[in-house]
Amino acid sequence: MLPHFDLAFDVDPLFKKTATQFDEGTAGGGQFLNTLQFLDERSQLVLDSDAVLTDLERGKQKNDNETTLVLAVP
């Protein structure tokens, strides 16, 4: 038998909603990804509703065209 803490877990509501949209599917397939807004081609998709955007440095370039995105999780 599994201990109680192994059976109980919290599902992030934003993740659950996003996963549902992936599961629904459409005739064209992949339509959910086509509706997302990205900074550039190297942006990452964050599926954590606890993540808060605290700082976006568009003007500061590290290497070629690398954008710095700082996220803080409370």
pTM of the predicted model as reported, rounded to 2 decimal places: 0.28
Residue whose tokens read 């919290």: 10
Average pLDDT, the chain: 59
Domain count, the chain: 1
Residue 58 has pLDDT above 50, yes or no: no
pLDDT tier at 4 (50, 70, 90 boundaries)?
Answer: low
**Domain of 22?**
11-72
Q: Are 60 and 68 in contact (CB under 8 A)?
A: yes
**pLDDT for residue 35:** 61
The reply to whether 46 falls in a domain is yes
Over the stretch 7-33, which tens digit does the pLDDT of each residue have? Answer: 566 777 887 777 777 656 555 455 566
